[in-house]
Structure 1
Amino acid sequence: METKKGTKVKTRSKGASAGFIIAGCFIVACVFFFGICGDPGNFDEKGHPLTGNVFGTLYQGGVVIPLVMTLLLTVLSLSVERFFALNRANGKGNVDKFVYSAKQKIEAGDIAGASKLCDDQKGSVANILKAGLIRYEDVEKITNLNNDEKAAIIQKEIEEATTLELPYLEKNMNIIAAISSLGTLFGLLGTVLGMIRAFAALAQEGSPDSLALSTAISEALLNTAMGIATGACAIIFYTYFSGRIQNLTNAVDEVGFAIGQTYTTTHK
C-alpha cells in the first residue's frame, strides 16, 4: 500500500496455496494407505490384520479412509501454516505491550516515536498503525478541512490498511472450518458403507460370512473414529486461530481509536 507522500507500507504475501497443500496431503494419504497399510505383511493367510498391527487394522476401514486422512492431514498442515503466519503477524514483540506503548506515545504527541515503535515491532498491527501515522502527518498540512474531517481521513486510512491485512490473517481459515463438518460427513459415509456390507454378510443364506461381517464392522467403526477425530481437530484449531485473529483485530481497533481521538483533542 502507498500513501500520498509516496511512502510504502509493507503488505503481506498471499501465503501458502491451499490447493497444493490439499493435493500433497491426498498423495501422502494414498501412498500411506495403499502402500503401507495395504502391505500383505500386515495380514495373516485369512486376510485378518495381525494381532496389534495398526496398519492392517486401518486398512480395513476401506477406501473412504484415504479421503478422511487427506482431510486430517490438510487440517494439520494448514494449522501449522496458520501458526507461523499469525506469529509473523504478531510481530517481534508482545502485541499488547506494543499497543500500550504506541498509545502512550500517540497521546503524548510523539508521532515519530510511535512510528519508530512500528518499525521495530513489524507485523500486521504495526503495519496498520504505521499507515495511520503517515496519514496523520499528511493531514496536518491540509488547511481547508476541520479537525473532525481530518480525523475521519486518518480513520479511513486505518480501515483501508486493515482491509489489506485481514485476508492474510484469515487465509485458509474457511477451509479448516469446512473440514470440521466434512471430516464427520466422510466418516459417516464410510460408516454407512461398512454397515451395508455388514448387513449383506448377514443376509446370506446359511451361516453368515464371519470374515466379511467382521471386516464390514471394522470398516464402519474405523471410519466413525477417523471422521470424529478429523472434525474435532478442525474445530479445535479453528477456534484457537479465530481467537488469535480476534485479538489482533481488537488491537487494531484500539490503536485506530487512539489516533483519531488524539488528533481531535490535540488540534482544537
Structure 2
Amino acid sequence: MATTKNVAGPKKSGFQGVRDAIWIIVICFAIAFCFYQFFLGNPDNFEGGDRAGHPANLMGTIYKGGIVVSIILTLLLTVIALGVERYLALRVAFGKMPLPKFTAEVKAAIKAGDFTKAQGLCDKMRGSVANVVSASLKAYKEMESAQGIKKSQKVAKIQQAHEEATQLEMPTLQMNLPIVATIVTLGTLTALFGTVLGMINSFQALAAGGGGDSLQLSAGISEALVNTASGILTSWFAVVIYNFFTNKIDKLTYALDEVGYTIAQTYEANHADEA
C-alpha cells in the first residue's frame, strides 16, 4: 500500500524571527538601565542639581519611581522590540501577495484543475502560506499516481499532508508571542511591586513624623504612582501587540484551512467514480 512521506514546504527564505529572544531582553535591560541612570537621573532634572532633591520636571518625577522603573522600562522595550520582530517575521510568512487575493486565485485554479497555475501562484507568493499549499499540491499529485488505496484514504492523506505542513509553519508564526503574553502579567505585577515599595516608604515617612520628612513622603508617593502608571502602560502595549499578531495568525490559519479543504474536496470530486 502506497504511503505519503511527511511533506514539508519549500525551503524557507527571508527573515524567520529571532529564536534567542533572551538577547533582546538583555539588550533592552541595558538600554533601560542607561536611560534610567543617565537620562532620567540627569541632575538637571532636579532642583539644585541634586538627585536627592525635588524633581524639576517630568523626567525627574519618573526617576523618583525607583529602580523598579528600569525593570518596567525593560519590559516595555522588550514588548516593542518583539512587536517589530513579529511584524517583520509575519510579513515574510504572509508572502508577497495579499492573502485574500492569493486564497481566491489558488482556489479558483484548483477547482479548474489547473495545478500548474496553482503551483505558480505558490512560487510567486512564497512564505508560510505558499509552503503549506505547495505541500498539499504535492500530496495531491502523489495520490493521483498512488495505487491500492481507497479514495477516502487518499483524501485523508492529502488532508494529513496539509496539517503536517501547517504544524511545521506554526512555530515560526507564533515564536516569541508567549513572551509578550507573559509580559502582560509581569507588567502589572511589577507595577504592583513598585507601588507597594513606594507606599512602604511613604508610611515610613509618616511614622517618623515631623515636617522634615515631607520630602521622603512625597518621594514615596511619586514612586508608587510612577510605577503604577508605567506598569499599566507596559501591560497595555503588551495586550495590544499580542492580540494584534494573534488575530493575524488566526486569519492566516483560516486561509490555510480553507485552501486545504478545497484541495481535498477537489480530489474527491475529480475521482467520484473511484471506490
TM-score, structure 1 normalization: 0.94
1:49 equivalenced with 2:55 (yes/no): yes
- Deviates most, 32-41 or 180-189: 32-41
Whichever residue aligns with residue 192 of structure 2, its letter is: L
Asked whether the equivalents of residues 197 and 212 of structure 1 are also in contact (C-alpha less than 8 Å), the reply is yes
- CA–CA distance in 1 between the matches of 2:179 and 2:6? 39
1:174 equivalenced with 2:175 (yes/no): no
- CA–CA distance in 1 between the matches of 2:16 and 2:99? 22
- CA–CA distance in 1 between the matches of 2:138 and 2:226? 58
Residue equivalent to 1:30: 33
Residue equivalent to 2:88: 84
1:11 deviation in Å? 3.6
- CA–CA distance in 2 between the matches of 1:68 and 1:8? 40
1:150 equivalenced with 2:154 (yes/no): yes
CA offsets 1:93-113 (integer angstroms, 9 cap, x no match): 111111111111111111111
Asked whether the equivalents of residues 9 and 134 of structure 2 are also in contact (C-alpha less than 8 Å), the reply is no
Residue equivalent to 2:24: 21
Among 121, 124, 129, the alignment partner of 1:120 is 124
Superposition CA RMSD, Å: 1.8
Residues 216 and 5 (structure 1 numbering): CA distance in 2 closer, same or farther, change over 3 Å?
A: closer
- CA–CA distance in 1 between the matches of 2:92 and 2:252? 12
Identity of aligned residues (%): 47
- Deviates most, 235-244 or 7-16: 7-16
Residue equivalent to 2:43: 40
Where 2:145 maps in the other structure, the secondary structure is coil
TM-score, structure 2 normalization: 0.92
Residue equivalent to 1:247: 251
Where 1:203 maps in the other structure, the secondary structure is helix
Residues 202 and 122 (structure 1 numbering): CA distance in 2 closer, same or farther, change over 3 Å?
A: same
Alignment map for 1:199-214 (pairs within 5 Å): 199-207=203-211, 209-214=213-218
Whichever residue aligns with residue 174 of structure 2, its letter is: E
- CA–CA distance in 1 between the matches of 2:178 and 2:71? 19
- CA–CA distance in 2 between the matches of 1:213 and 1:7? 63
Residue equivalent to 1:10: 11
Residue equivalent to 1:135: 139
Whichever residue aligns with residue 25 of structure 2, its letter is: I
Count matched residues.
Answer: 264
Unaligned runs of 5+ in 1: none
